[in-house]
Structure 1
Amino acid sequence: MNDRSREAHDAPSVVALDHISKSFAGVRALDDVSLAIRPGEVVCLAGENGSGKSTLIKALSGAQPAESGTVSFHGQPQAQISPIGAVRAGVQVIYQDFSLFPNLTVAENIAFNDRLARGTRWIDWREMRRTAEAALGRIGVDIPLDAVVEDLPVASKQLVAIARALVDEARLIVMDEPTAALTEREVKHLLGIISRLKERGIAVLFVSHKLAEVFSVCERVVVLRNGRLVAEGPVDEFDPASLTHHMTGREIDAAPVVSADAPRGSDLLQVRHLSREGAFSDVSLDLAAGESLGIVGLLGSGRSELAKALFGMDPASSGTIRIEGEEARIDSISDAMERGIAYVPEDRLTEGLFLTQSIGANIAAGSFRRLAGTFGLVRKSDIRDEADGWVERLSIATPSSDLPVSSLSGGNQQRVMLARWLATTPRILILNGPTVGVDVGSKADIHRTIADLAAEGLGVIVISDDLPEVLACCNRIMVMRDGRIVDERRNDDVTENELSHLLSSDAEDA
């Protein structure tokens, strides 16, 4: 242990929660939870969706005070916590949406809170740039200060949010699913930055469903389940199986759920030389009934653009698509649906769900034409019956399909998206990032659902950069890079490391 680490270990906790409890509408979200985080410590907060992680974060940041228990900053108990009080104590929370000002520049976003805290009426633009430049330098990144934040890639937005936290003299940075939308290369960069923060004595509370990241960067793990702290200890006391068991309360088999030798039916989909300028070029692939085909690629590889072309959202400019041997012109979503193609998008919140509408309305949204009776009217009872059937089949955890879909966890929202498109009785199902932001238990359930759908005769395409995911639930895997398919492997003929190498542009020189 070096001198800095020894001093951090002996120092008072940055934050300590003692016997914290919180309820919502009679439901216990946190039940007698105690947790302390020391300077320079990277702690993983693990748990399934709905376990109480978000409530705990809101309690320590002052966004939603606990109803009982005590929160202390630097050894000092707080009678009442406000968000600004938590910030002044050095607690910074970086949420999944980063909470940046999209229409402002990088420099303005980084220095804004500092100027606000000083109460200055006039802005010194040179000083603002110096502040932003120094903050970015502390994490070793170079982002153009005049760039407008909404034009930045996700990884750069993440770094801007971290730099802003450092300007406010952060002592604890809470990162809520920081890698959910990052590529593998960007994840490695972020984990390196977290290590540098640790060396500076800054503590990190790291929330992630990706267990490999937890074991690579965290030194202690705290597990919540149903609002209670069920396990805590050094990371080397856990392995993926034991951590998963603590999170879910059940055993989850990590073995692949599909076999490369699973029986294939006749070809459902044949794509030949499909291209769209600036997105992808000369893509050819086949998909058989009963097959799950993985397409992996980094951000910008053309993977999502290909999915949207097959579903008619952004049609291809050249090439041919055949469905069950018959040439199909897919210039719109309605063309795709008429041909039996369904698409579950990667961003369910902005592209997939009607968040203020009921679970039932979301499930039935793709089936209104089928459900319509006389004069084109759809009865509420028919919507409810349709929804309740899918709620049961896909094990969507809700007491009623009349509740808003926003009330569900990420995993259950994803099941609602699946239900909507399965209700259209598709022959081809395209899943783009099917488990992004989904907890480990729900992820395993969705993988099993994918395998079951293929076994029922659907053709399934899984588009993802989650390599363990495609190895688990796809018979074949195609690698996409720079808009082209560059390789194809069976799932029993390639390892995760080999796939990772194939995704990189460095593979071109191998």
Structure 2
Amino acid sequence: MDKNLVEMKNISKAFFGVQALDNVSFELSSGEVHALVGENGAGKSTLMKILTGIYQKDSGEVFVDGHKQKLNSVRESMQAGISMIHQELNLVNHLTVAQNIFIGKESEYSSPFYLNDNKINQKAKEICSEIGIDIDPKILVSELTVAKQQMVEIAKALSTDSKIIIMDEPTASLTNEEIKDLFTVIKRLRKQNKGIIYISHKLEELFQIADRVSVMRDGVMVDSFPIDQANEDMIIQKMVGREIKIKPPIFDESQFGDTALAVTNLTSGNLVRDITFSIRYGEIVGFAGLVGAGRSETMKVIFGADQKDSGEIKVNGQVVKINNPYDAVNNGVAYLSEDRKTEGVITTLPIYENISLPKLKDFLDLGFLLNEKKEIKNAEKMIEMLDVRTPSPSQLLQYLSGGNQQKVVVAKWLSSGAKILIFDEPTRGIDVGAKDQIYDLVQELAKDGNAIIVISSEMQEIMRLCNRVLVMAEGRITGELDSKDISQEKIMSLAVNRAN
């Protein structure tokens, strides 16, 4: 590590009177992977949006390569050598790899009448080769895995001669092997004296890839230290300001109610094959398995988002026909998608409107006039019940942290009267402290008599929450474990078994 590529000094930023950043300073050296961590709402994203020109600071100074920068726009930031790879990738699916890499820079590789595809294909191949990425530049981005698409984003950043690359939750959707490949690329970038700002909630990763860690909390930079002087518990305590203790689940089966949901021989395509299970009110049943096992697909069929080929679904002992999500909601079934921003909420709407969405008819006067006061009153009740941190029910959802957005999704479905709640990756993209709150919330919902299904790729999460676990592989259930038998080894053994 040599000179400072980035110096952010005494940065402050407020939104609508709420202080998002308070006198924050941050540095990045060349050839360094600097991890930036903190709970959702700690200020990490705001700080990075100032560095990338999306937001403008209220006060403070930013230096890049020793030169003071205003960074009043994304273009100015890119010209200063800064690129950001967002968790939601910004690629155009119907264009090729090369076309995506050079999007916005076509004039450099074209005549007045046409784009020289041969030229950009060759240049894309050279950039990918520099960091050991093996991707055909002529293939459509839509045909790539998420991991490969992420590599295209890195190549895209290098095509602008970026010296500073910000990676936001880069491993959120990657398998273990894909994570290893990503880390290999990051290490190559470090050798080329690039500076990497690495944002992640997966703390165990930091010890594999980071040189330094900076911790933010409540808009303030709490501490910054070399990774070899840290451990996971120390980082967590600095992030949340308190010790997080794992509380194992305690279940009293005598408190479980009648069967809420029973599924028999459910089949849909190749990823939902002859699924049979049931869940009682008060239970938390986990679905574990590797990526592509068919867990989410099974739940989407139950929710009516996808169609079944055959099989039977019973709610409260009665056979029901669920052909679409509207049917599911009317039968008290809710699905909280793993893709919260695309399928769970509308971030550009206020909180109270999001909560009202599943059953708008409950908020109509005379059958057609939407009663906003009734919506807000209902939202206030749900906000208090679920401890959603917001100044007002009228706050736009996009300004809430990930954990609070997830609580709004729960509020939305509880408000609809749902008693069978399917949580698909409930803590994806949520920090350690907020995870603890979501776990407590799920357990309280079960104690209140709701039937809870939890899909999670984090085995510790399954073990923490569930009284039973069903494990899937290749679209089938390969085994069931109750609370006293649940272990990572047993789950993994069933997850890698091919279904008979």
TM-score under structure 1 normalisation? 0.90
2:17 counterpart residue number: 26
> 2:236 maps to what in 1?
244
1:122-133 mapped onto 2 (5 Å cutoff): 123-133=115-125
- C-alpha distance 347-71 of structure 1, shift in aligned 2 (>3 A): same
In 1, Cα distance between equivalents of 2:416 and 2:126: 54
Runs of 5+ unmatched residues, structure 1:
1-8
Q: 1:480 to 1:195 in 2, by over 3 A?
A: farther
- In the alignment, is the contact (CA less than 8 A) between 1:261 and 1:475 conserved in 2? no
Measured in 1, the distance between the counterparts of 2:397 and 2:335 equals 19
How many residue pairs are counted as aligned between the two chains? 498
Quote the offset at 1:275 in angstroms: 0.5
Assess if the C-alpha contact under 8 Å between 1:258 and 1:474 holds in 2. no
CA contact (8 A) 2:290 2:495 kept: yes
Gap regions ≥5 residues in structure 2: none
- Matches of 2:472 and 2:133, distance apart in 1: 28
Q: Which moved more, 1:116-125 or 1:236-245?
A: 116-125
Q: CA deviation at 1:318?
A: 0.9
Deviation at 1:94, TM superposition (A): 0.9
In the TM superposition, what are the counterparts of 1:282-321 in structure 2 within 5 Å?
Answer: 282-321=274-313
1:37 matched to 2:33? The reply is no
Between the aligned partners of 1:384 and 1:78, the Cα distance in structure 2 is: 43
Number of the residue aligned with 2:384: 392
Partner residue in 2 for 1:49: 40
- Indicate the residue corresponding to 1:256 in structure 2: 248
- Asked if the contact 1:258–1:472 (Cα under 8 Å) also holds between the matched residues in 2, the reply is no
Mapped to 1, the partners of 2:151 and 2:320 lie a distance apart of 44
Q: Give aligned-pair identity as a percent.
A: 37
Compute the RMSD of aligned alpha carbons. Answer: 2.6
Task: Tell whether 2:397 aligns with 1:405.
Answer: yes
Given residue 449 of structure 2, which amino acid in structure 1 is its aligned partner? G
Equivalent AA in structure 1 for residue 43 of structure 2? G
Out of 415, 437, 440, which is 2:429 matched to?
Answer: 437
In structure 1, how many angstroms separate the alpha carbons of the residues matched to 2:60 and 2:367? 59
- Greater alpha carbon shift after TM alignment, 46-55 vs 105-114: 105-114
2:64 aligns to what?
73
Deviations 1:399-451 (A, max 9, x none): 21122222322221111110011112323111112122222222211111111
Cα distance change on mapping 1:49 and 1:190 into 2, 3 Å: same
Aligned residue for 1:112, secondary structure, equals coil
Counterpart Cα distance in 2 of 1:393 and 1:21: 33
Paired position in structure 2 for 1:3: none
Q: CA deviation at 1:337?
A: 2.3
Q: Which amino acid aligns with 1:331?
A: N
Q: Which residue of 1 aligns with 2:350?
A: 358
**Change in CA separation of 1:439 and 1:360 when aligned onto 2, cut-off 3 Å:** same
Task: Confirm whether residue 205 of structure 1 aligns to residue 227 of structure 2.
Answer: no
1:13 maps to which residue? 4
C-alpha deviation, 1:273, in angstroms: 1.6
Q: Secondary structure at the match of 1:14?
A: strand
Q: 1:342-395 CA deviation, whole Å, 9 max, x = no partner?
A: 111222222222333321121122233344454454422221221111000111
Q: Aligned partners of 1:26, 1:325: CA distance in 2, in Å?
A: 52
Q: Specify which of 127, 133, 144 is matched with residue 135 of structure 1.
A: 127
Q: Is the 8 A contact 1:397 1:412 kept in 2?
A: yes
- Alignment match, 2:99: 108
Q: TM-score, with normalisation over the residues of structure 2?
A: 0.91
Cα pair 1:257 1:447 within 8 Å, conserved: no
Deviations 1:275-316 (A, max 9, x none): 112331111112122111111233322222111111112121
Letter in 2 for 1:475: N
Q: Which moved more, 1:215-224 or 1:241-250?
A: 241-250
1:331 aligned counterpart, secondary structure: coil
Paired letter, 1:96: Q
